[in-house]
Amino acid sequence: MLGLLPCFYPGRGMTNTKQKDSVPTPLMWGFAFSLALALLVNYSGLGGRLDASLLDAQIRVLRSASPAPAEKEVVVVGIDESDIHYFNEPVALWHRHLGDFLRAMAVAKAQAVGLDVALPERSFNDILPGYDEALMTGILAARKQMPVMLAITVDGAGKPRQLLRKFQLVAGDDGTAFALFPRDADMAVRRFDERLAEDGSKIPTIAGQLARKLGRDPAPGIIDYSRGAAFNYIPLHTVLEWARAGDTQSLERQFAGRTVLLGSVLPVEDRVLQPVNLAAWEENGNQAPGVLIHAQTLRSILGQGLVQPAPAWLAALLMFGAGLLWFAGLRGWVAFGVFTLLAGGLFAADLWLFRQGWHVPLGGVVPAAFFALTGRAGLDAAFKLKERRLLKRSFSGSVSPVVMQEILAGKLSPELGGERRYVCILFADIRDFTTRSETMPPEAAIALLNRYFQRVVDVIHAEGGAVSSFIGDGIMAIFGAPNLMENPSKSAFAAAKAMQHEVANLNRQLAAEGAAPIRVGIGLHAGEAVIGHVGSSARHDYTAIGDVTNVASRLEGLTKETGHGVICSSAVAEKLDDKEGLAPLGPRAIKGHTPVEVYGWGKLVQDDQVHRDTMEKHL
């Protein structure tokens, strides 16, 4: 009955002797597919977005859990709304104020200064004579003391706005630079790279040019937003008040020996998305004034340096290694737990590397691990479901539903052997069927047996019993194994009565067909038995072995002597709540055993109609 089960048992899988020494083809294809998915994510832009999100999370963790100071501070002088009201003139006419600012930086002995403001393309001397010269003299005064960098901006079409020629000449060929940043797919600025021209060539930027002036080579890299506190700024008019009041002490205290950047901090002007909020004076949703991006870039370049991405081969190697997790064959929550631990470990390792000046892109590594673990778990689940369906389709007619459920749940061991269990055993046999079958064609005998078995097997299963075997016209069923029952005797007795009811119904059909009725004797006994697989490793049955089985079989034989449809032992009777119809028959001798106290139910008589009426009376 269960002889073939070990070959298809859940968790073992179906073996192929030709592939014992090689990885099954479906696994290799699955591995290749999961790795291809990870590569697709990595190079389709999704990987870049994932890596950017992880990078932002790392920066936030480092800033909150392990803040580190900036080695080189940059001072920001901001143009805010108070400056707009203070000067009371259009920003385009601030030449004199900008010139005074540059002269103040020379007095303050600043290390370098950059103007992240849009300077005019034309002269205003015709309107306000001397305005151009006020700015030019300020540039010259500052250049004598420090590097000065003027911003070149671009229009809406991306074309550079040219400075007034005489401003360009005074600043010098290396005194102007573009106020541009490379932006990621989400328009955030995370990296410094001067390869911003349409053909991919370098163009000078404010941060890059100032770094060169200060003796640092600004190679491309990731801006280290994790270092330094959020920026505060000094309003422009405050700086000019110090300068005009001759407050050299305040100027030097704020700017001496430091790089200074002047730019707009107005709420809706020149805002750029960044990983964290660097503006200490506002909650800006990480939309920072552009001047703060220049300042943080300079902090990074002039300090420990920009964070360098790990070599591409390392990320590719990690992706491949993560993809190999496919062959771990982990399932369900175990796979999810391993993925969580791995992703957390990679994140923590990258945190440490970031502080050492390196960043490993995880946008392909994490998806590779995810697809490998979940993909393999999904494939195994699909194979297991297919195997379960094959088992059910192949053996549902060979084993009882309760046995099949235990097999599919992996609770029923396919190995030979068993366990001790309290059960109730039912034996049923058709009276004189051998004699009857001698007068019938074999096909008719089998058809009658099948009609009978169809009815009584359904009844046994309905009461939770497991059919152990068919022995000619006899049947053996177990109650209480493989699934535990609170009262196996009660279920077995209910099944026995229902079986007699079904026999009565079948006899009505046989009478209508002109055929003789059948009579069935049922024996029940309860006790401990060893439940499990009996036989050889190639062919075995799930059955019950022990005295309880032998006694139940002998009690079934007593039905011939007593004329009852059901004979049960006192071990069964004492477990019944409803004993109506049970007749005590006293101790009875049975072959090969000491006498057993028995009870009878459902008296069998020779007259067919009386037999049916008697059974229906009890049922």
Calculate helix-pair angle for 442-462, 488-512, nearest 10 degrees: 140
Residue 543, pLDDT > 50, answer yes
Average pLDDT over residues 107-130: 84
Q: How far apart are CA 578 and CA 26, in angstroms?
A: 58
Q: How far apart are CA 156 and CA 159, in angstroms?
A: 7
Angstrom distances, CA of residue 486 to CA of 423, 426, 481, 489, 491 = 10, 17, 11, 9, 9
Q: How far apart are CA 34 and CA 29, in angstroms?
A: 9
User: Which two three-digit tokens encode residue 71?
Assistant: 């080695």
Average pLDDT over residues 579-598: 90
Angstrom distances, CA of residue 459 to CA of 466, 485, 491 = 11, 17, 11
As beta bridge partners, residue 469 has 476
Residue 414, pLDDT > 60, answer no
Q: Which residue has the higher pLDDT, 157 or 235?
A: 235
Q: What is the pLDDT of residue 477?
A: 93
As beta bridge partners, residue 476 has 427, 469
Q: Band the pLDDT of 17: cuts 50, 70, 90.
A: very low
Q: How far apart are CA 556 and CA 525, in angstroms?
A: 10
CA torsion angle 541 543 546 547 (round to 10)? -120
As beta bridge partners, residue 424 has 479, 526
Q: Band the pLDDT of 16: cuts 50, 70, 90.
A: very low
Q: What is the pLDDT of residues 390-409, one digit of tens each?
A: 655 544 444 455 555 555 55
Residue 166, pLDDT > 50, answer yes
Q: How far apart are CA 306 and CA 358, in angstroms?
A: 9
Q: How far apart are CA 300 and CA 290, in angstroms?
A: 16
Cβ atoms within 10 A of the Cβ of 141, count? Answer: 18
Average pLDDT over residues 385-389: 67
Q: How far apart are CA 65 and CA 60, in angstroms?
A: 8
Please report, in angstroms and rounded to a whole number, the separation of the first and last CA atoms in the chain.
Answer: 33
Q: Band the pLDDT of 238: cuts 50, 70, 90.
A: very high
Q: Band the pLDDT of 535: cuts 50, 70, 90.
A: low
Calculate helix-pair angle for 365-395, 25-43, nearest 10 degrees: 150
| Whether residue 482 has a cis bond before it, omega within 30° of 0 | yes
Q: Band the pLDDT of 540: cuts 50, 70, 90.
A: low
- Please provide the size of the chain in residues: 619
Residue 8, pLDDT > 50, answer no
- In a 10 Å sphere around its CB, with 0-12 CB exposed, 13-18 middle and 19+ buried, how is residue 606 labelled? exposed
- In a 10 Å sphere around its CB, with 0-12 CB exposed, 13-18 middle and 19+ buried, how is residue 467 labelled? buried
Give how far the C-alpha of residue 518 lies from the chain's centroid of Cα atoms, to the nearest Å. 61
Reduced to 3 states, what is the DSSP secondary structure of residue 200?
coil
This prediction's pTM? 0.65
What is the C-alpha radius of gyration for the chain, rounded to an integer number of angstroms?
45
Q: What does the mean pLDDT of the chain come to?
A: 84
Average pLDDT over residues 193-206: 90
User: Which two three-digit tokens encode residue 289?
Assistant: 């004034």
Report whether 306 contacts 227 (CB < 8 A). no
Among 388, 405, 468, residue whose Cα is nearest residue 2: 468
Reduced to 3 states, what is the DSSP secondary structure of residue 129?
coil
Q: Band the pLDDT of 610: cuts 50, 70, 90.
A: very low
Contacts 24+ apart (CB under 8 A), 588-591: 588/558, 588/561, 590/551, 590/554, 590/555, 590/557, 590/558, 591/554, 591/557
Residue 44, pLDDT > 90, answer no
Reduced to 3 states, what is the DSSP secondary structure of residue 248?
helix
Report whether 475 contacts 439 (CB < 8 A). no
Q: What is the pLDDT of residues 591-601, one digit of tens each?
A: 888 899 999 99
- Beta strands 520-535 and 417-430 are antiparallel
Q: How far apart are CA 242 and CA 258, in angstroms?
A: 17
